[in-house]
Structure 1
Amino acid sequence: MRILKLSEFILLLTVFILFLSCQKKGEQAPLQPASDNQNIVEQWDKTNINGMIQLPDKDDHSGILVFASGKSLMAFTDKEGRYTIMSVPLGTYQIEARMDGYNPISLGALAIEGTPQKPASAITLPNMVMEKSPDISGESLGGLFGKIELDSAEQSDGALVQIQGTNYKTVSDAEGMYRFYNLPSRSYTLQFSKAGYISQTTSVNIPSGDPVQIPTIRLIMVKQPPKVRTIYGTVELRDLKNKLDNRFDTVVVALEGASKVALLDSEGKFVFENITPGKYTLTAVSPFFRIREKEEVDLKTLEYINVGIIMDEIPSESSKQGSIKGFVHLSEAEDHSGATIALAGTSHVAVSDSAGQYTLSGLPAGTYTVLAQAEGYVPETREGVEVRQGEEFNLDEISLKIRVTPPEIIYTDPGDEQTDVMIQKRTPLYVRFNKNMRPDSLRRAFSIRPAVDYRIYSGRESRYSDFDLLYVELSGTGDKNPLSFDTQYTVTISSAARDYQNIQMEEDYTFTFSTGKASVTGSSPDNGEKNAFVNLQHPMLFFFNASIDPRTLTNDNVDVSPSPDTVPQLRIVNDPETGWSVLRVFVQLQPGTNYRVRLQRGIRTDGGSYISNLPFAIQFRMAERRDASELEPR
C-alpha cells in the first residue's frame, strides 16, 4: 500500500472539509423552484406581471386568459390559477381576464415605470375569483366574426374588440381576425380600438345559427408629431489681447434660415430646443465681436449635439459708426420681444424687447436693407435705409403679420395612381386633411371625372367621416353614372376647401385611380374558415360584382378537392338591386374534413368580359357533424 505524503494528505483533508461545508449550505438554503424566479427580468425597461385568478366551482383553474387590453401581451393560468405576463415594456396598461362560461373581470389599470438607474420592478396583482356567467341556454344563440386591418402595419394583432353594454370583449390575432360565439340573438354595437389608432364603431344584428361575418374594419393611424432636436452650445469671447472676455450680453446666436435666435447666459451658454430634423448653419453676431467660423450641424439622426463657437473682438471705430433704431410690432401680441432685426449681407443683428424696441449700433456709413422676422410671422424688409457717419437713423415701425398655415391633404384612399380598385355596391373613398375643415366647403370643392354618382359625408355626418376626414361613397350600381370597370378616374379637391379659420387650400389637389375588371369579391365559407357548414340545403356562395352569363358556367369551372360524394349543382342568382350575380354551389361535404374549392378560368359576364381574378381559390374546414335543423337553408 502506498503511503501518502504530508502535502497530499492536507490537500485531501481540505477537499473533504469543503464538501461538508457545501452540503450543509445546501441543507440550509435549498434551491427555489423556477416559479420563484418569475420576477427576474434582465432588461431595465421591461418587467413581469404576476397574479392568481381562480374559478369558484372548480379545482383546476387552468386556461383563464389574462391580457393587456388593446395590446398583444397575454398569458394563461396554470392549474393553481397562477399566471405571468413576461417582458412587459414601460407604459400604462388595463389588465383583464376572461374564460368561457364566466363573466370577464378587470384586474385594474397600472403604470410601469423605470430608468437604467432604477429598473422597472415586477408587479403582483391582487388575487381574484371569477363569477360564473348567467345561464343563457334557453336563449337563441348566434355569433359573429370579422377582420381588422391596421394602417401602415404588417400585422394586425392586439386590437381590442368589445361589445358595448356587455362584458364581451376580445383581441385580434396576427391576421387581424376576431370572433364571438354563443351570443344571444339581438342587435349589438361593436367598438374597435388600439393605442395609436382612431377608434371605430359599427352596428350588427345577430340572428340565431351560423356566425355572421362583419365587413373588414380599417383603423387609421393617428398622425404622430415630428421628432424634435436640441442644440447645446458655448460661446468663447476673446479680446484684442486674446484674453477671455465676458461681455456675453452683446452676443446673439442664430440658426440661419430657421428664424430662431438664442441669447447667452452669464457663462456664455445657449440652447436651441424643438428643432426639426435637418442640417443647419449656426452663427453668432455682436457689435463688438466677430465669429471665427460658422458651425455646420447635422441633426438628421442625432437627437442633440454640443457645439462651441469662438468670437474675436472687433477693433473699435465708434466715432465713424452710425446706428439704426426702431420698433417691431407683432400682430395680435402684447409682448413684442424676440423679433430679430438684421442687416442683409452683414453680421449685424438685434433682438426686440417686450415693447418691440431694438437698436443696431456700430454700423459703418452706407445704405442697408433691414430684415425683420419672428417665428410664426411673415418676414418684412425695408430697403434703402441710409446710415450716415456718427448719426442715428430712426426707422418707421415694422409690423409683422401672423403666418397662416393653409390646409393640406395628407392622405387619400385609394392612393394616387392606385390600380385595380375593386368596384363595390358603395365603393369608399377617403381624403384626410391636416386640419378640421368646413363640411359645406368640401361639398363644393369635390369633383370626379368621368362623372360618377356619389354621396359625400364630412364632420359627424357618417360614422366613417370626421371634421378632418372626407368620406365619399361612389356608386357601383344603378342607372345613373355608376363606376365602370377598367377605367381611370380623376378626383379633384379644389382650393375652395376651407378650414374653420376660413383659410382655403393654396391650390387644387388632384389624384387618380383606376378600377379593376369584373371580379370575385368574396365567398361563404370565407377563406381559412375553421367551422364551415355546407350541404345540399346550405350551399357554398361566391359573390361577383357583375352579372354572370350562365352559359359560361359548367361543372368544369368548379373544382372541389377532395372529391365530394355528390356532383356539385350550380345555380346563378342575381341581386335584384344591383343586378350582380351570386353563384350557389349545392354539394354534400363530409364533416370534420379540409376542403379546397377553386373557380377556374372561363367564366364571363353578360357583356362577354372575363372575370379578372380567376382562378379564385378558398380553403376551409368543415364543422363536426351538426344537426341540420339548427341552421336555416340559404
Structure 2
Amino acid sequence: MKKVSIRFIVTFLLLFSICLIGVAWGEVCNENENCPCPCSSSLKVYVYDMNTNTPIKGAAVEVSGPGQYYVKDYTGSKGSISISDGISLSGEYFVKASKEGYRSETISFTLEPDECKEFEFKIKLIPECTERNITASVYDTNSNNPINNAEVTLNGPNGYSSTQITDNNGQTTFDSLAEGSYTVSVSKTGYESESATVNADECRPYEIEIGLTPGGGDDEPCIEREIKVSVYDTDSNNPIEGAEVTLNGPDNYSSTKSTIEGLAAFDNLTEGSYTVSVSKTGYESESATVNADECRPFEIEIGLTPGDGDDEPCIEREIEVSVYDTRSNNPIDGADVTLNGPDNYSSTKSTSEGLATFDNLSEGSYTVSVSKTGYESKSATVEATECMPYEIEIGLTPGGGGDDTCTERSVTVAVYSTSSNNPVNGAEVTLNGSGNYSSTMNTTEGLVTFDNLSEGSYTVSVSKSGYTSESISVEATECKPYNIQIGLAPRNSGGGNNGGDSDNNDNPHNNDNPPNNQTPPGTSEPPSNNGNPPSSTPPEIDETPTPNTSAPPPVTTEPPPVYNEPPEKGDLPFTGANSLSYLLAGFVLCSIGVIIKRFDKR
C-alpha cells in the first residue's frame, strides 16, 4: 500500500510539472520576438491592357500593408509578378499597378489572422489618350474673316486652365487634354466676348468655331475704318500685282495680304497708328505710316522702285523651334513659344510633339522665348540672314524661379545593430545638404524619413549612446525616394552589454556587413548604401526587457530566422491559446494517473 502511494505521488508531480512547463513556455514565447511565424502568404499579380487584353511588361507594382510593409517591383514579359515573402501580418493590403501611358489602378485585399494562402489578382490598366485636343477658330461675325491675336482661355476638369493667342488664321490648339467638359472663352479689344462648351468625352480631336461681334469695351466699334493700299511702279506708274503688303498696328495687330491689280485692303480696324510695309521681288521695299484716328476709310499710295534691294523676299525662310526636357530629353508639348523680330514682328505658338514653326519670315534677328508651367523659361537668338530654314533646340529645366517641383524626393534612413541585426530606436540622425539644409530626427522602429528635399548632395550622420557613430553620403540627383541602411556597432564596456545588444564581433567598425553573413532587418540581401530602396522596411522592435521566468534557451550556431515583417504579439504560435492546450493536456495526463492509482488499489 505504501509503495502504491509513493508511485501515485511521483506520477502526479511529474504530470503537474509538465503542465507548468507548457504554461511557462507559452508565456515566454509570447514575449519573445524570435519565435518563428507559422507561415507567410504569397501574392501574384497580372497586369493587362484594358483595350487589347495583352500583358503589360515593365508595369510598376507596389504593395503596401500593415506594419509599414512596402514592396515595389516590375512585371516581366508575361505581365506578371510574384511576391512570396513578408505577407504575414493580418490586415488590409493595397496593390497599385502603374505604367507610363496608362491610368494607375489600385486594389486591396485582407489577410485574416492565421491565414496562409496564395492571392492572385488581375489588374487591367486603361491607356491614356494623347489624341484629345481642342482647336478654337475665331472669326469676325460681320466679315467672316479670321481674327488673329484674340485671347482664348480654356477651363476644364481638375482645375485645368490655359490661355493662348490665335494665330494669323484665327486658330489656336490646346493639346494633351483629359476627358471631361471644357469651357472656351474668347475676347479681343473692339469685340464682344464669347464663350462655348465642349464635352471632350472621346479620345479624338475637337474643333469649335466662335464668332466675335464688333463692339464691347471702351472703344466703340467702327465698321467703316479701313486702310486701302495702292502699290505702283515708280518708273512706269503701273500697278504692281502680287506685292506683299503687311499692316502692323495697335494691340499687336498684324496682317499680310498680296495686291490684286495693285490694291490691298485691311478692314474692321481699331483706332490707332498703323505701319504699312510693301515688298516684291525685283523692287526695293518701302513703308509708310497711317494714323487711323477717325471712323472712315483711309487710302495710301506707295511706289516701289525697281531694283533688288537689301530685303529680297524669301518664302523659304522659317524658324523651327524644338523644345525638350533637359532631364529626360523628351519633347515638351504645350510649351508657349514666342518669336519676336524685325518690323515689330511677334507671334506665339504652342508646341505639338515638342515643335513650333514660324514661316514666311523676313530677314533679320529674332528672339525665341519658351515657357511652360513647371519649367524654367529660356530664350535664344536666331540670325535669319539667309534665305533658308533655321532650326533651334531649346531645353527647359524642370523647376521655375529656382523652386524644385519635385515632391517625391526624400531620404529614408534605416538604422540597425550590426551585432543583432535589430533596428536601433532613438538613434540621432542628422541630414546636411545643399542650400545649407540641416535637419535632425530620432529613429522610431529604426527608421527616420526626410522628405520634400531639393536636388543635391547630402550627408547622413547617425549616432547613439553605446554605439559607434557612422555617416554616409547620398547623391539625390533624381526625383525619387532614396533609402539607405546604416549599421551601428555596439561598444563593449566592462564585458557587459550596451544598448541591449550583445556584440560578438571583435571589429567594432565592421558596419558594412552584418555578423555571420546575416542580412539586415527587412531585407533579403546584404545591406547596400547605394541609394536603392530596400525590398521592405525593418521589423518593429520592442526594446522593453522581458523577465526570464525559465531557463535560458540553448545557444545555437545558426542565426535566428529573419522576416521582412515579424508577427505582432498574440499572433505567435506559442501564445495564450496554445498555453491553454498544454495545460489541458497536463490535466488529462493527471487524470490518467488517478485511474492508474485506482487500478493499483484493486
Give your verdict on TM over 0.5.
no
TM-score (norm 2): 0.30
Q: Which has the higher contact order (CA 8 A, sep 6+)?
A: 2
